[in-house]
Amino acid sequence: GGREVLKLLGYTEESGEGLSFPPPPGGPDPALVACVTADVIILRGELDLLLANQHPNPEFFTEILLGGDEVRLV
């Protein structure tokens, strides 16, 4: 969710009272948080399909994991 993305981007710190924003430069960039959140949601969906052996293009992941050439979507 959004809270995990904020933590990944370093915008939140855990304390005994919950999550808080670290000292400046300030709060998160909404566009960046939205972009990363969308990427995380898509990756979760892709991994779910891959783990269920229902992904239409599992070779993309094989190439990425083996360090092959950059995958180009056409």
Domain ranges of the chain: 1-66
Amino acid at 57: N
What whole-number distance in Å separates Cα of residue 72 and Cα of residue 37? 22
74 pLDDT band, cuts 50/70/90, is very low
Per-residue pLDDT tens for 24-70? Answer: 666 677 888 788 888 888 888 888 998 999 989 888 877 777 775 55
Q: Class for domain 1-66, per CATH?
A: mainly alpha
Cβ–Cβ under 8 Å, residues 14 and 4: no
Give the integer Cα–Cα distance in Å for 43 and 12. Answer: 22
Q: Which of 2-6, 13-17, 52-56, 70-74 has the lowest mean pLDDT?
A: 70-74
